[in-house]
Amino acid sequence: MTSRALQIASLALLSIAGCGHPAVIAAAPTTPLVARATEPQDSSTKADLRLVPAEAYVRTYLQLFGGLDPVTAQTRARGGDGGALFDSWEDYLAALGFPDYRLDLPRATQTNGLMMAAFERLGTALCDRAVEHDLKGKTAVPVNERIIFAFDLPKGAAVDLAAFAPRFDVLHRTFLSYPASLAPTDRTRAFFDLYTATVARHAAKTAAKSRFTPAEDGWAVVCYGLVRHPEFHLY
């Protein structure tokens, strides 16, 4: 028999063997694996919090202002106060951490006193203008067209926690992007105390004159606290 014939015969035998019934393996009882060593799960923080890039901060700021372009947002932020509350973007860019290659100024990756002051000014301008636009317009602005305070104020400055909580949750979601009930501490209660203290202070007979009502002042201060919150600036 030639080698060619042997190869054909071998292939035929393999084909016949492959068509046979598969072998049946009897099931055997399983035994649990014995732990030989245990290690605790390491859930510690592996890196420090980092500052949100200046570009992301400005883009978010413009979006909160109603999706305006920088020039229009600057005009809106200045309002009728001129430069008393908001100067110009050119005055804030370096303070916010933008690099200036003309002056060989690198990008700022950590906060500093000047940056925190810029955050203060920008946050105050945003919240005050939002109160004026959303709550003090000559004609009532529909809730779905408001830029920050997308809720109706309760009648009267006295607000209990039950009325405050859902409105605060709207602001919390706007600035920090998650429900206030998921905050690591009782943040709603803390901001409610801030609101009531602010309303009481501005409603006192000895209080300085304000263009806002006590309730509007209270909500403006709540807005200040959220726009300056570490979770808004760090990740």
**Cα angle 139-140-141, degrees, rounded to a multiple of 5:** 110
| Confidence (pLDDT) at 43 | 72
| Confidence (pLDDT) at 7 | 64
| Confidence (pLDDT) at 165 | 94
Average pLDDT over residues 40-59: 81
- Which of the two residues, 84 and 210, has the higher pLDDT score? 210
Average pLDDT over residues 106-132: 87
Two structure tokens written together for 124: 């105050």
| Confidence (pLDDT) at 3 | 63
Strand partners, 51: 234
Average pLDDT over residues 165-194: 94
Average pLDDT over residues 197-205: 90
The percent of residues in the chain predicted with pLDDT above 90, rounded, is 28
Residue with tokens 């009532």: 140
Q: Return the closest-CA partner of residue 219 out of 194, 183, 189.
A: 194
Two structure tokens written together for 230: 């570490």
- On the 0-12 / 13-18 / 19+ scale of CB atoms within 10 A, 1 is exposed
Taking only the tens place, the pLDDT of each residue in 124-150 is 999 999 998 898 877 888 888 898 999
Q: Return the closest-CA partner of residue 128 out of 171, 185, 78.
A: 78
What is the model's pTM?
0.74
| Confidence (pLDDT) at 94 | 85
- Which of the two residues, 35 and 130, has the higher pLDDT score? 130
Q: How confident is the model at residue 180 (pLDDT cuts 50, 70, 90)?
A: very high
- Which of the two residues, 82 and 193, has the higher pLDDT score? 193
20-24, 185-189, 211-215: least confidently modelled range: 20-24
For residues 228 and 116, what is the distance between their CA atoms, to the nearest angstrom? 9
CA distances from 104 to 101, 115, 220 (A): 5, 18, 38
Amino acid at 135: L
For residues 121 and 115, what is the distance between their CA atoms, to the nearest angstrom? 10
16, 201 contact by CB (below 8 A): no
The percent of residues in the chain predicted with pLDDT above 70, rounded, is 88
| Confidence (pLDDT) at 166 | 94
- On the 0-12 / 13-18 / 19+ scale of CB atoms within 10 A, 191 is buried
**Cα angle 211-224-213, degrees, rounded to a multiple of 5:** 25
For residues 188 and 160, what is the distance between their CA atoms, to the nearest angstrom? 12
Centroid of chain to Cα 34: 45
| Confidence (pLDDT) at 83 | 65
| Confidence (pLDDT) at 2 | 61
| Confidence (pLDDT) at 41 | 79
CA distances from 20 to 7, 14, 124 (A): 21, 10, 83
Centroid of chain to Cα 191: 17
- Which of the two residues, 85 and 164, has the higher pLDDT score? 164
Q: Which residues contact 192 (CB under 8 A, 6 or more apart)?
A: 161, 164, 165, 168
